[in-house]
Structure 1
Amino acid sequence: MTAAAAPSATAPQNYLGGIALRLTAMLSLSLMFVVVKLIDASGVHILESLFWRQALVIPIVFAWAVTHGGMASLGTQRIGAHARRAAMGLVGMACNFGGMIFLPMAEATSINLSVPIFAVLFAALLLREPTGLQRWSAVIVGFLGVLIVLDPGAGFAAGFGGHHGLGMLIALAGAIMTALITIAVRDLGRTENATTIVFWFSLLSMLPLGIALPFVITPHDSYQWLLLGALGLSGAVVQLSLTGALRLAPVAVVIPMDYSALLWSIACGWFFFGTFPAEATWIGAPLIVASGLFIAWREHRLHIERQKDITA
């Protein structure tokens, strides 16, 4: 396969487009995690879930590539970077699946919302992305909202200990890996398009998952196959949206949009599983949403000002 023509080292930026894609990814991610919990409840092993999640993404992304740029768009000259991203992606995805299986949706999502703290730090250190005081402040305010939602006074005594302890550790590991993945995807996005990144992640991850599959696969009924199909479809939407967002806008801009996942997880937890968050959620959630909206508004204004300076 010949390599596609690489985008310029500085990919075109569209902050509002990146924010919109990240918000789409968060809704799709919440729905995907509903499917993950339903699949686990039906008796399908997590490794098999990961296999079918990746296997079903490949034809979807391939069809998208063929109709939007042709086969050449899947070419790459950075196979090593894709392999590293695939390895991190598999570990992160397994941890995120495991955390969601062990914990209620709102709690697992709240832990995952520590990603911005790690991602902004990694972006500043590894990518040298400028992160001003206002953006740092907004991220911290959002994280304070997450702490309020978690209600540490009761959470550490109950939710963070006992049989939830393993789930908490797995979810935290998933948050850290997600932050590192964010940096890796942002770096790949300098030369690769979203479709290429998702395609190679899915394809390369099939090797270890394919080796593990014979040891965990079991016969499935139509309901389980329907769930596995939904997992693959939602996974494709999530991957394309996440990757596209990081290509269009800096890490510190799009990551705070992840706070919206808490609202979706609360709604999905109540609708699908009958779980309802504590009263503290109604105090913390507005802080989380406000921080994301403030960053979106501020970055939009700054982007307009930069364009004015360029054309002046």
Structure 2
Amino acid sequence: MTPLKGIALKLVAVTLFIVMSALIKAASDTVPPGQAVFFRSFFAIPVILAWLALRGEMSTGLRVKSRMGHFWRGFVGTTAMGLMFAGLGLLPLPEVTALGYAAPLLVVVFAAMFLDEKVGVFRLGAVALGLVGVLVVLTPRLTTLGGPTVETAQAVGAVLVLLGAVCAALAQIYIRKLVQTEQTSAIVFYFSLTSTLLSLLTLPFGWVIPGGTETVYLVLAGLIGGLAQIFLTSAYRFADASVIAPFDYASMLFAIAIGYVIFDEVPTAQMLIGAALIVLAGIIIIVRERQLGLQRGKSKALKTPQG
């Protein structure tokens, strides 16, 4: 393990994902979310295939044992992506990023519901704290629902992003199941393939012929998204998940910077307070997960060969 390398790769991945989101947002005025999902997924495929070829994993990395598992992970993940992309067209980039942080909190809840994982009071308390943060971010939007058109659109955007976070959390549950039998490379590749195909179902609902600038944005979003996925996957080869997970939250700094410079977006104090509560809750859960992991490791080491 080389933790510093893992952290560096994670930071690169986080930066690339925010740049990808900014490109999707820049094209969102003219390109519908389903079409954006297609570009993001389709143009990630050659990047992922090139990565597999360089690693010599073309023959083994694409084998699957659970076709339906990959399908449902792709279905839920594609839905999450579409909802997030729709929200990007309606909300400031930092706000979408903050609400997206709800996904790791919901994973804790869903893991208890669907994977029978034991979740103690400590982690449930952290989830509750994070959900308070989500409410702090959401409240100004929901109170304007039914108001002027722009404010109503932003309220709808906030709901869409939160639903996207729910779907993203469910996708993580499917991934936890898949990693027990599937190669990581296969999970990455078949998600891009599935989301590409599923996004075509939205073609009758208003796809457009994008202009030259929008096309460049969308193609770059796909290429950068594929590259970001590779950096993210590689990061976990060099450091434990508990070490690099907190660096997800660096995305807020990048989102604020890009939102301010590119989109002239200035986050409100209430949004920042809510985001801080969500981040704090996420870090508490990460620390607790690390403690539980160490305890499990010690208990295994103390067991006799007979158990």
The verdict on a shared fold, with TM-score over 0.5 as the criterion, is yes
Distance 1:257 1:195, change over 3 A: same
- The equivalent position to 1:236 in structure 2, one of 214, 221, 226, is 226
Find the aligned partners of 1:147 and 1:210 in 2 and give their Cα distance.
Answer: 34
For residues 278-298 of structure 1, give each alpha carbon's deviation from its aligned partner in whole angstroms, at most 9, with x where no partner exists. Answer: 122444444344333334344
Gaps of 5+ in 1: 1-13
Quick one: which amino acid aligns to residue 167 of structure 2?
M
For residues 256-308 of structure 1, give each alpha carbon's deviation from its aligned partner in whole angstroms, at most 9, with x where no partner exists. Answer: 87555444332321122111111224444443443333343443344344444
Find the aligned partners of 2:247 and 2:126 in 1 and give their Cα distance.
Answer: 11
Determine whether 1:140 maps to 2:128. yes
- The equivalent position to 1:62 in structure 2, one of 42, 49, 55, is 49
- The equivalent position to 2:93 in structure 1, one of 95, 98, 105, is 105
Determine whether 1:48 maps to 2:38. no
1:35 alignment partner in structure 2: 23
Determine whether 1:91 maps to 2:82. no
Map 1:1-312 to 2 at 5 A.
Answer: 25-41=13-29, 43-71=30-58, 72-148=60-136, 150=137, 152=139, 154-158=140-144, 162-210=152-200, 216-218=207-209, 220-221=211-212, 223-240=213-230, 259-312=249-302
Deviation of 1:180 after TM superposition, in Å, equals: 1.1
Distance 1:115 1:177, change over 3 A: same
Q: Secondary structure at the match of 1:73?
A: coil
Quick one: which amino acid aligns to residue 218 of structure 1?
I
Find the aligned partners of 1:16 and 1:130 in 2 and give their Cα distance.
Answer: 31
Deviation of 1:171 after TM superposition, in Å, equals: 1.9
Q: After the TM superposition, which of the residue ranges 138-147 and 58-67 deviates more from structure 2?
A: 138-147
Quick one: which amino acid aligns to residue 129 of structure 1?
E
Q: Secondary structure at the match of 2:269?
A: coil
TM-score normalised by length of structure 2: 0.78
Gaps of 5+ in 2: 303-307
Question: Root-mean-square deviation (CA), in Å?
Answer: 3.7
| Contact 1:48–1:216, Cα closer than 8 Å, also in 2 | yes
Quick one: which amino acid aligns to residue 195 of structure 1?
S
Q: After the TM superposition, which of the residue ranges 232-241 and 195-204 deviates more from structure 2?
A: 232-241
Distance 1:107 1:282, change over 3 A: closer
Q: Secondary structure at the match of 2:42?
A: helix
What fraction of aligned residue pairs are identical, expressed as a percent? 34
Deviation of 1:87 after TM superposition, in Å, equals: 1.8
Deviation of 1:172 after TM superposition, in Å, equals: 2.5
TM-score normalised by length of structure 1: 0.77
Quick one: which amino acid aligns to residue 189 of structure 2?
F
Deviation of 1:130 after TM superposition, in Å, equals: 2.8
Distance 1:226 1:203, change over 3 A: same
Deviation of 1:57 after TM superposition, in Å, equals: 0.9
Number of aligned positions between the proteins: 295
| Contact 1:135–1:295, Cα closer than 8 Å, also in 2 | yes
Q: Secondary structure at the match of 1:110?
A: helix
For residues 71-109 of structure 1, give each alpha carbon's deviation from its aligned partner in whole angstroms, at most 9, with x where no partner exists. Answer: 121111211111122222222211110011111223333
Distance 1:258 1:289, change over 3 A: same
